[in-house]
């Protein structure tokens, strides 16, 4: 893990790097599924960069989180949309940041409600460590150390450009 750079990396450049990591594996005919919201934005960008014709899937894990009873429903809950058959498909699950692994676990649980994929790989822009579950990324462009009081947040401006910001909690 590297320490936090100042300024933060260019998220658009990281999307291009992530596409470069995935491109050699396109022979598997993968389907992209982004986790709302940052992962969905990254999946949209990957679809464009990889020139994929198939629509991407988008998952909202709100109802699948193991802390749902504690936190309740997120105010920006969106419907999950999987516009392809998951059964037997090679899926690349896309997120912006991997932290504890609980969001990824929830997304995999929800994905299996749509069918049994042949394989599920995880692609992300940033791995911040701090895992609570044995989950790791197949494709990742940035490993970074953050303190417990910091969150790395991916934002999208009105023009659709992605950028990182650091929030203190």
**How would you write the pLDDT of the chain (169 residues) with one tens digit per residue?**
666 777 899 999 999 999 999 999 999 889 999 999 999 999 999 999 999 999 999 999 987 766 545 555 555 667 899 999 999 999 999 999 999 999 999 999 999 999 999 999 999 999 999 999 999 999 999 999 988 889 999 999 999 999 999 999 8
CB distance 14 to 53 below 8 Å: no
pTM: 0.92
Q: How far is CA 59 from the centre of its chain?
A: 10
**Domains of the chain, residue spans:** 11-168
Q: How far is CA 119 from the centre of its chain?
A: 16
CATH of 11-168, one of 3.40.50.2020, 3.30.70.20, 3.40.50.720, 3.40.50.300: 3.40.50.2020
Taking CA atoms, 147 is separated from 39, 98, 129, 132, in Å, by 22, 14, 10, 16
Nearest to 106 by CA among 74, 67, 143, 164: 67
H or E segment to which residue 169 belongs: none
């Amino acid at each position: 893990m590297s320490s936090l750079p100042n300024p933060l990396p260019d998220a658009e450049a990281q999307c291009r790097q992530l596409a470069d990591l995935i491109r050699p594996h396109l022979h598997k005919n993968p389907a992209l599924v982004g986790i709302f919201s940052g992962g969905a934005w990254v999946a949209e960008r990957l679809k464009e960069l990889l020139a994929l014709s198939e629509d991407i899937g988008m998952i909202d894990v709100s109802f699948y989180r193991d802390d749902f009873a504690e936190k309740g429903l997120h105010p920006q809950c969106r419907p999950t949309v999987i516009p392809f058959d998951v059964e037997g498909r090679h899926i690349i699950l896309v997120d912006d940041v991997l932290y504890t692994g609980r969001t990824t676990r929830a997304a995999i649980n929800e994905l299996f409600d749509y069918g049994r994929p042949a394989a599920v790989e995880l692609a992300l822009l940033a791995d911040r460590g701090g895992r609570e579950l044995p989950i790791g990324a197949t494709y990742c462009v940035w490993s970074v150390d953050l303190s417990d009081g910091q969150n790395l947040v991916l934002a999208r401006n009105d023009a659709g450009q992605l950028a990182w910001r650091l929030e203190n909690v």
